[in-house]
Amino acid sequence: MTQMILPGATLGVLGSGQLGRMFTIAARRLGYRVHVLSPDDDTPTGQVADLEIKADYGDLDAIARFAKDVAVVSFEFENVPSATTDAAARFAPVRPAGSVLHTTQHRLREKGCFAAAGLPVTPHLPVTNLATLQAALAQLGAPAVLKTASWGYDGKGQVVIKSVEDAPAAWKQLATDEGILEQWIDFECELSVVAARSLNGEFASYGPMLNTHRHHILDTTICPAPIDPKISAEAIEIARAIVEKLQVVGVLCVEFFLTKSGKLLINETAPRPHNSGHLTIDAHVSCQFEQQVRAVCGLPLGSTQQLRPAAMANLLGDIWEGGPPQWNRLLEMPLVSLHLYGKKDPRIGRKMGHLTALGDSTEQAKAIAIAARQALTSG
C-alpha cells in the first residue's frame, strides 16, 4: 500500500481557472487545504482556495517555495513548462508527472506515442514549412486540418485547409515553425472518455460522452452516449491503455472521432479533468474532480456510477451581450444545476460557467439543458 495523503493536508494546484476551482471545491469538501499558483490574482481558483500565490510559471524560485508548502502538486491545464514541473518535483510529488505533460502538450509526440503503442490515431504528418505542408497535402489530401504542434486548445492554433491552393495562406496564418497536418475525418460524432488512474494502478472511467461543438468550443455533452455498447467498451479500453502507457496518476480525458464506418480514432488527450466531464458533478456518485483529488492523494478511487441521464451546456460570455442573464428563470427549473466560475469579464467565446440538466433519458436532459440556457436571454 502506498502512503496516502490524508484529509487535512495541503494540496497545490498550478493554474487558476475553472478546472482548478472545481478541483478545490472537491478537495475542501474532503477536508483538504489548497494552495494555487498562477500569474493572476482574484482568479476562479483563488476565490475558493486557502492561499492564492501570484507568480509566473517561469519563476522557479517561486515554484520551489510553493512546492515546499504542499504535500502534492497537480495542475489544471496542460501548458505548464517542463522546467516548472521539474522545479516543483524537487520538493513534492507532481501528479500526473511532468513526463505526462511532456507527451500530451505536443501533438506530434502524443500521436507518435500512441501510434507506437498500436492505438488508433488520426492520420497525420509533421510540417515545418510551406514545402513540407504542400508535400503532406499531396499525401493526405484536402480538406485537412493544419495545427500547431503545441499550445493549442478550443480551436486555437489550427486552420482548415479546404484545397491545396489554400496552403500558403494557411501556413502564414498559423505562424509557427512546427506544425502537424491531420487528415480530415468525416466523423459520425465526437466522443470523450474521462479516465482516472490511482497511485496503485486502479482504473475508473466515465462515459463515453457525446459532445457537440460550436466554433471549435464544446457546446453540449450528454451521458451516456447513445452508441453501440461494443464501441463504448472499446473507447474505455483505449482510455485504459493510454493512462497505463503514460503511467498517469490523476485524471485524463481522451477525445475521439467515431467515423461513419464505426471506427474510433483518438483526436487528442488532456491530462486533467475535462469540460465534457463537468456533468459528473451532478450526475455521478463521485465526480471527475473528486477522482483527481483521490488519485493524486493515493486514496481509493470513487464510484463512477451514473445516477441519472444528464446533459451539460456551456455558458459563454456571449450570453451577457444583451445584459445580465436572467438567472431566476434557470433556477426555477428543478432538474437544472447552475455552475458559475467567478470570472469578472464576460467576453465572446469565454467560458463563464455551465449548467447540468437531469432527465429520464439523455434526449430529455439535453432538451431541458437547451431550454434552460435559452431562458437566460429570452425576452
Residue 1 has pLDDT above 70, yes or no: no
Other Cβ atoms within 10 Å of 68 Cβ, number: 12
pLDDT for res 157? 80
Q: Which of 233, 243, 146 is nearest to 202 (CA)?
A: 243
Looking at the chain, the domain(s) classified CATH 3.30.470.20 span 187-375
Query: What's the gap between Cα 78 and its chain centre?
Result: 9
Q: Which of 116, 342, 96 is nearest to 195 (CA)?
A: 96
* Total residue count of the chain as it appears in this document: 379
pLDDT for res 271? 96
Residue 18 · residue 341 · CB < 8 Å: yes
Count CA within 13 A, CB hemisphere, residue 94.
Answer: 27
353: Cβ–Cβ under 8 A, 6 or more apart, which residues?
Answer: 18, 314, 315, 338, 339, 340, 341
pLDDT tier for residue 207 given thresholds of 50, 70 and 90: confident
3-state secondary structure of 157: coil
pTM of the full structure: 0.95
- Give, in words, the CATH class of 10-94: alpha beta
Cell 515553425 sits on residue: 177
pLDDT tier for residue 378 given thresholds of 50, 70 and 90: confident
Reported as type and span, the H/E element at residue 362 is helix 362-375
pLDDT for res 295? 98
pLDDT tens digits for range 77-101: 888 898 999 999 999 999 999 999 9
Question: Considering the domain 187-375, what is its CATH architecture?
Answer: 2-Layer Sandwich (3.30)
Q: Please state at what angle helix 82-89 crosses helix 60-68, rounded to 10 degrees.
A: 40
Q: What angle do CA 146, 257, 169 make, to 5 degrees?
A: 15
Q: Which of 298, 302, 265 is nearest to 281 (CA)?
A: 302
Looking at the chain, the domain(s) classified CATH 3.30.1490.20 span 123-183
Lowest mean pLDDT of 145-159, 316-330, 344-358, name the range.
145-159
User: Mean pLDDT throughout 259-279?
Assistant: 96
pLDDT tens digits for range 282-301: 999 999 999 999 999 999 99
Cα(200)–Cα(241) distance, rounded to whole angstroms? 16
Reported as type and span, the H/E element at residue 86 is helix 82-89
Cα(232)–Cα(192) distance, rounded to whole angstroms? 10
Looking at the chain, the domain(s) classified CATH 3.40.50.20 span 10-94
Count CA within 13 A, CB hemisphere, residue 168.
Answer: 1
User: Mean pLDDT throughout 150-172?
Assistant: 84
pLDDT tens digits for range 220-236: 999 999 999 999 999 99
342: Cβ–Cβ under 8 A, 6 or more apart, which residues?
Answer: 21, 43, 44, 47, 48
pLDDT for res 155? 57
Report the DSSP beta bridge partners of residue 38: 54
With respect to CATH, is domain 123-183 assigned 3.90.105.20? no
pLDDT for res 2? 60
Cα(19)–Cα(353) distance, rounded to whole angstroms? 11
